[in-house]
Amino acid sequence: MSAFGSWSPPTTQAALLRSDWLVFFWTGLAVAALVYGLIFFAMIRWRKRDDALPRQFRRNNRLEIFYTVVPLVMVAVLFGVTYAVERPVESVSAHPDLVVRVIAYRWGWQFTYPVQGITLDSKDPTDGPQMVLPVDRTTRIEITSVDVTHGFWIPAFLFKRDAIPGLLNRFDLRPDRIGTFAGTCSQFCGLGHALMHFSVRVVPDAAFVRWSRSAANAS
Amino acid sequence: MSALAAETGSAEPRERFDALSWLTTTDHKRIGILYVCTSLFYLCVAGGIAIVIRTQLSRPENTLVSAPVYNQLFTLHGTAMIFLMVTPFAFGLANFVLPLQIGAPDMAFPRLNALSFWVFLCGGLVVFSGVLTSGGAAATGWTAYAPLSVLRIAGGSGQDLWIVGVLMVSIATILTSINFITTVFIYRAPGMTMWRIPIFTWEMVATSLLVLMAFPTLTADLAMLLIDRHLGGHFFDPAGGGNPILYQHLFWFFGHPEVYVMILPYFGVVSEIIPVFSRKPIFGYTGLVLAAFAIAGLSMGVWAHHMFTTGAVDDPFFSFMSFLIAVPTGVKFFNWIGTLWRGSITFATPMLFSMGFLMNFLLGGITGVMIASPPIDFQAHASYFIVAHMHYVLGGGSLFAIFAALFFWWPKMFGRKLREDLGKWTFWLLFIGFNVTFLPMHFMGLAGMPRRVYTYDASGPLPLLNFIATCGAYLMAVGVVLFAYNIVVSARDRTPVGPDPWGANSLEWATSSPPPETNFDTLPPIRSERPVFDARHPELDPGLAR
């Protein structure tokens, strides 16, 4: 199951997202086992043995109602799980500890820290800028694009959000683990799409303060 | 196409192949064969492109093709497979089979039918003519998202040719749908009541209704795109008061029903084949028909699940509607299992491909429910997980049903069977090849590989997974070549097949193979949805246990 992110997801949001993955994965596996099992059983058990015509039955109303209602209940429960997970992931804090503005363009990223007065940009298109975030703090990302639609995706965070011209998207990230995480553009945007990378480095508070001072001086 | 058409001509020893008669035909059977041959031609083109794509991705940082060429390749692959292969194959098959199944002499509007085919054929050629322009073909994916598709690049008339070509195909599809609906409602033989219509024909009615609701939105969307590109429009330009999200809404209002346009006919195909090779009536006929219409209806209300990551749609509503589609789809699965249950099952090639359809489509359906949950979609969207999901539905699903249909109805179309031994080899090559290609793509997506990239990082699990996928693609290519070889060797076999080589159920098997120009000399009495079975078993009451 490590395919759905690491055992200790690096953000509060990713832990929630991962719980949704696991519910759907195990439910899907159970449904697959049942239905594949029924198909294989029927194919083997009732392969042709003689020329006798099998009984020509056409329906079973109670069974048909049963296999309509049970999936209906299942998807209702799955929807409940989805809703319970999505609400906190989508909720945006009124008082974030940090705000980072992301502007996507063909083919690079610009990260701005308005309070700290920092601007980072893609200088080398194959590597991209590195966003630095303090651990255990809520960072609000405000994202838009200046040309076509792009996608801001950090696979380890199990999350992406599109950067769309004329629209400002907001979401919160609360990293709870120190580390460096790769990011890339997920929405096809033309020739440089495959190389439109960036990264996110999560550091302790003190390191963030040191970094933001030197970065503010640099920009 | 011409080679295949030539085969057809020689299938009827009475008459010589006459090209002019094929160019001017209004016979639904000939138009159906023209559609099928054209879509198989595009299968070879789009499949060949897929092999180039997989070869490029077989190792990281490969330089077989450049980024601009790669972007054209995946655009043409998607466009051809969706608009020129999976959709028109169903329409070609229905052109041939549907009037026969309801005991009609032809389609309701034969000339309109011919017009649809030629407009479709020309539309496909217009899309591909982009490769002859200096800027190359369209390179914005089969979705052609604005504002990317609005950008005018020097020499970039490929995008315009794409828009005009897809518009033509769209209009042809709408016209044929009108034709199908009219034919089914007006031209049924005496005794063919609505509740005796074979499942394939029912699925085509649901499909045609979906086309009439969805495709006009596509034509509008593409027309708006042309206006933005050339007439100074700002529909999708935020600087002029437009909205890029509007393009996505209109596109997916067409695009999601289109997914069902590409799968409902193939639900119909396997619903015809499984009863024949289980020697039992379809289980839960009424439920199966109602499920088709439930899917069609629900599919009109789920489009924005393609847009969860835009942050601009009401996620819970679209998520719940998408989950609901799993219910009627599940009903169909249980109908098919119920048909197998206590049957007398044989595994001729059409049945093998139908079972392959069930296996592959089930996985595609389960991942479909997963990505209908926005928290999962936030990771899976626009990644190789989606590529895997969508190919399990349309490749492992529709394409396997296409091969099932080819093997099943080939004797009816051309008067001789395809070879069974080669057919079984084709099945196993395609089935193993398909799963080796697309199963790893789920893990590529979760590992962070976005779709539509011509290169990827050499570190991590991606190089190995991509290499495995490429090997599977080559296996599939061998399977398709073997199928082409099967067509050639089977054409040399002059043994005629009778009207009903499979012991089948519906009316097309009551007439000669291939059928005469007016389809039927006599019709058997129609007292259930399988009149040919009833005629074979006069000792059984057709209304038994209904």
CATH of the domain at B410: 1.20.210.10
At B500-538, the pLDDT tens digits run: 999 999 999 999 999 999 999 999 999 999 999 999 999
For chain B, how many structural domains are there in total? 1
Architecture of domain A2-90: Orthogonal Bundle (1.10)
Contacts B340 to A, Cβ<8 Å: 39, 42-43, 46
Contacts B278 to A, Cβ<8 Å: 46, 54
Distance in angstroms (rounded) separating the CA atoms of residues A185 and A195: 8
Fold (topology level) of A98-218: Immunoglobulin-like (2.60.40)
B538 within domain boundaries: no
Cα B43–B352–B46 angle (5° rounding)? 10
Query: Cβ–Cβ of B450/A185 closer than 8 Å?
Result: yes
Residues 143-162 of A with CB under 8 A from B: 147-149, 151, 153, 155-156, 158-162
Question: What residue spans in chain A does CATH classification 2.60.40.420 cover?
Answer: 98-218
Q: Determine contact: A15 vs chain B, CB below 8 A.
A: no
Contacts A42 to B, Cβ<8 Å: 337, 340-341, 343, 345
At B319-374, the pLDDT tens digits run: 999 999 999 999 999 999 999 999 999 999 999 999 999 999 999 999 999 999 99
Residues 6+ apart with CB under 8 A from B252: B303, B304, B306, B307
Contacts B446 to A, Cβ<8 Å: 3-4, 155
Percent helix, strand and coil across chain B, each rounded to 5?
Answer: 70, 0, 30
Residues 320-339 of B with CB under 8 A from A: 320, 323-324, 326-327, 330-331, 333-334, 337-338
B536 within domain boundaries: no
pLDDT at B154: 55
Distance in angstroms (rounded) separating the CA atoms of residues A24 and A80: 12
Query: Residue B330: what residue type?
Result: G
Query: Cβ–Cβ of B370/A24 closer than 8 Å?
Result: yes
At B415-454, the pLDDT tens digits run: 999 999 999 999 999 999 999 999 999 999 999 999 999 9
Helix (H) or strand (E) run with residue A184 in it: strand A179-185
Distance in angstroms (rounded) separating the CA atoms of residues B481 and B495: 24
* Residues written for chain B: 546
Instruction: Give the count of beta carbons closer than 10 Å to the beta carbon of residue A44.
Output: 9
Please give the distance of CA B435 from its chain centroid, rounded to a whole number: 19
Residues 121-160 of B with CB under 8 A from A: 139-141, 145, 147-148, 151
Q: Classify residue B312 as exposed, middle or buried by CB count within 10 Å of its CB (0-12, 13-18, 19+).
A: middle
Query: Cβ–Cβ of B382/A151 closer than 8 Å?
Result: yes
Token pair 């626009």 is at which residue?
A: B382
Give the ipTM of the model, two decimals please: 0.95
Contacts B251 to A, Cβ<8 Å: none
**Per-residue pLDDT at B545 exceeds 80:** no
pLDDT at A4: 72
Sign of CA dihedral B345, B351, B354, B355: positive
On average, the pLDDT of chain B sits at 93
pLDDT at B176: 97
> Number of Cβ pairs closer than 8 Å across A and B?
252
B14 within domain boundaries: no
pLDDT at A146: 95
| DSSP code of residue B373 | S
pLDDT average, residue stretch B275-282: 96
Question: What residue spans in chain A does CATH classification 1.10.287.90 cover?
Answer: 2-90
Token pair of A78 as six digits: 């799955």
Token pair of B85 as six digits: 């292969």
Q: Determine contact: A171 vs chain B, CB below 8 A.
A: yes
pLDDT at B3: 45
Distance in angstroms (rounded) separating the CA atoms of residues B531 and A30: 39
Of A53, A58, A186, nearest to B450 by CB-CB distance is A186
Its domain, for residue B88, covers 23-514
Give the pLDDT band of residue B19 (cuts 50, 70, 90): confident
B534 within domain boundaries: no
Q: Determine contact: A37 vs chain B, CB below 8 A.
A: no
From first to last of its 219 residues, chain A has per-residue pLDDT tens of: 456 766 778 999 999 999 999 999 999 999 999 999 999 999 999 999 999 999 999 999 999 999 999 999 999 999 999 999 999 999 999 999 999 999 999 999 999 999 999 999 887 555 789 999 999 999 999 999 999 999 999 999 999 999 999 999 999 999 999 999 999 999 999 999 999 999 999 999 999 999 999 999 887
Query: Cβ–Cβ of A194/B456 closer than 8 Å?
Result: yes
Distance in angstroms (rounded) separating the CA atoms of residues B4 and B20: 15
Contacts B347 to A, Cβ<8 Å: 47
pLDDT at A217: 86
Distance in angstroms (rounded) separating the CA atoms of residues B273 and B354: 7
B147: helix, strand or coil:
coil
pLDDT at B155: 56
B10 within domain boundaries: no
Say if CB B294 and CB B428 are below 8 A apart: no
Q: Which of A17, A25, A43, A91 to mutate to test the interface with B (most CBs of B within 10 A)?
A: A43
pLDDT average, residue stretch B157-181: 96
Query: Cβ–Cβ of B362/A35 closer than 8 Å?
Result: yes
Cα B137–B141–B143 angle (5° rounding)? 125
Q: Which of B245, B327, B383, B435 to mutate to test the interface with A (most CBs of A within 10 A)?
A: B327
pLDDT at A128: 86
Query: Cβ–Cβ of A4/B446 closer than 8 Å?
Result: yes
B15 within domain boundaries: no
B12 within domain boundaries: no
Residues 432-451 of B with CB under 8 A from A: 443, 446-448, 450-451
At B89-102, the pLDDT tens digits run: 999 999 999 999 99
Distance in angstroms (rounded) separating the CA atoms of residues B504 and B497: 13
Residues 90-149 of A with CB under 8 A from B: 90, 147-149
